[in-house]
Every structure is written in C-alpha cells, then in structure tokens.
Amino acid sequence: MYLVCGEALFDFFSQPNVDGKNNRVGFQAVAGGSPFNVAVGLRRLGVDAGFFAGISTDYLGKRLATVLEEEGVRSDFLIHFDAPTTLAMVAVGADGSPHYSFRGEGCADRLLTVEQLPDLDDNVRGLHVGSFSLVVQPVADALLALVQRESGKRLITFDPNVRLNPAPSIELWRSQVAKFAEHAHIIKVSDEDLSLLYPDLDAETVAKGWLKHNCQLVIMTRGRQGASIFTRDAGSWSVPAREVKTADTVGAGDTFQAALITFLTERGLDTPASLPKLSRETLTELLNFAVAAAAVTCTRVGPDLPYRDQVV
C-alpha cells in the first residue's frame, strides 16, 4: 500500500458567462488537490493507496471522503476537523494550463500536527508528499517529521508542485523544498516549478544538488516537450511527449506521479534499494509509461485520471 499525504480540496472551475451576463459567474466544482489526485490516480492504476490528510466535516469535506471511498482509497488515515474545506478557484488558459487562486486560511487540510502522525507497518510500501501542504502550518511540520522518520524504512516520493497563491514567499518554498528533498528517494518536478524556485540555475545543476542526499532519481516534466531524468551514475536523458488533442492539463502532473509509482510497484521495484540498480532501458520505460498516462488526462477536462487499461 502506498500512503499519499497532503491536501484535499475542491477546485472551482470558472464557466462561460451565465446567460451572457457579466454579473453572473458559473462554476463547476471538482474534488481535487494534488495529493488527493495522486491517491485516486494510484487506485485507478491498480495500486493500493491510502490518504493521510486533514479533512473537513462540512458538506464538501464529506463529499471528498465519499469520493475516496468510491475510488477505493483507504480512509483510516484521515483526520477529521470542524473547519472549512479549502477552495481553489481555477481559470484555464487558452493553452489548457490552469491558473489557481486559493481560499484556504484556517481550513481542515492545513491543521494536521506532528502529534497526529500515524504509526506505519510493513504494509505501507512508500509515502508521497507534495504541493502547498509543504509550506503551510502546522501540516508542513507534520509532513516533514513524517518523511524524516520514514525515509530509512520505505520509499519516499516528492513533488514540490509549487503554488504561490497559498504561500507567496518563494524563499519559503525554496527552504521547504530543500528540507523535503533531503529525505526523498525520487523527486518529480515540472520545468515551470524549477524556473520559479531556481530561475538562475539550469535543471541539471539543481538535480545534481538533490542527488547528493537520499535522492536516487530526479524526473522533470516538460509539458509538450516530454520528460527528462537525472541519475547519479547513468547520466541524464529525455523522452518525447505523446501527441494528443489537449482539453486541458489539469491533473496531468499528478497522473505522471501516480504512474511513476505504479510502474515501480508493478515490478516490485518500489524500494530505495532497488533504484540504483535500474537500467537505462527500465528507466526509459518508466518515463514513457508516465508520459502515456499523463497524455490520457490531457485529453479530458479537469483532473480525470486514467484507469490501468487506458494506459498503453
């Protein structure tokens, strides 16, 4: 089982003007949050998954819990709070890329503390952390303590998934990303996030810095240009993207992340000790599988992640 940690929220996607009137704005609300999407994506790809998060007892929080139950994500790691559900207001650009504005101060997903960390047994093969739960308190300290505690026991994957609206300080993001990166075995990051975090450094320089610690693989997604991988000993290389008709890119990065974990899990390679032994051929297969999965999501509106038989 893989335990995904972080925020759960509702994305409110803006719709065209209602009845052509500018004083009315329509929205479509979709359950989401990057870690939430990864957990759902893992289940759809056939990997047992649980979700460790603070979740609201309000109407939207109950809907989030229902979605997790329907998708088969284990809910026994959820911590319930009498606090609101975070809302992410989303406008999709002409190129399909989303633009976010968050309403989350004091909301349930931020309220987890170190005292609420779960005890994990050998059924938990790995942990995934990412997105703005890394930088908002007290959940950021709780998740950092969790990966520090577990990094010597099981696989840790990490995706910064930078969102400046909930935490606009890029210096805070850099500091937190550096702390989490020290304990992760696989770091997946988008080229956009790297340019925000380290505008004066190239990707290879950043990757080499991360690879000095626990990290064995750094994987950078590059949108329509595909994906690149950086390793300790085998060098770096890239694979192309799949050519598809893009509806939007919401959830594509989360799909890519879930697919990385799935590929390793299916082959029994989801342990820290397995990563240094992976051949260039296997790593290329890993990238191509994740690219193929993300491409499916790009053909759909919103974070509608694929099932295993839809990724070829």
Transcribe 8-55 into DSSP letters.
-EEEEEE-SPGGG-TT---EEEEEE-HHHHHHHHHHHTT--EEEEEEE
pLDDT at residue number 22: 67
Say which DSSP state 279 is in: -
- Separation of alpha carbons 51 and 86, rounded Å: 16
Domains of the chain in sequence order:
2-15+27-310 (3.40.1190.20)
Mean local confidence (pLDDT), 50-64: 97
What is the total residue count of the chain? 312
- Residue 89 above 90 pLDDT? no
DSSP alpha helices (H): ranges in the chain?
34-44, 59-71, 139-150, 170-181, 191-197, 203-210, 252-266, 280-298
Please give the Cα distance from 264 to 244 (Å, whole number).
Answer: 25
Rounded to two decimals, the pTM is 0.93
Q: β-pairing, 186-190 with 217-221? A: parallel
- Residue carrying structure tokens 């053909």: 299
Mean pLDDT of the chain: 94
Please say whether the beta carbons of 8 and 35 come within 8 A: yes
What pLDDT is stored for residue 254 in this prediction? 97
pLDDT tens-digit readout, 208-249 = 999 999 999 999 999 999 999 999 999 999 999 999 999 888
Residue 301 — pLDDT band, cuts 50, 70, 90? confident
Q: Which residue shows structure tokens 């009137």? A: 21
Local confidence band at 303 (pLDDT 50, 70, 90 cut-offs): confident
Question: From CA 278, how far away is CA 267, in angstroms rounded?
Answer: 11
Reported as a single tens digit per residue, the pLDDT across 129-184 is 999 999 999 999 999 999 999 999 999 999 999 999 889 999 999 999 999 999 99
Vertex 287, ends 51 and 120: CA angle to 5°? 25
For residue 17, pLDDT over 70 is answered with no
Strand order through the sheet with 227-231: 78-81, 49-56, 2-5, 126-130, 155-159, 186-190, 217-221, 227-231, 236-239
Give the position of tokens 């988008």. 190
- Give CA–CA dist 37/166, Å, rounded: 18
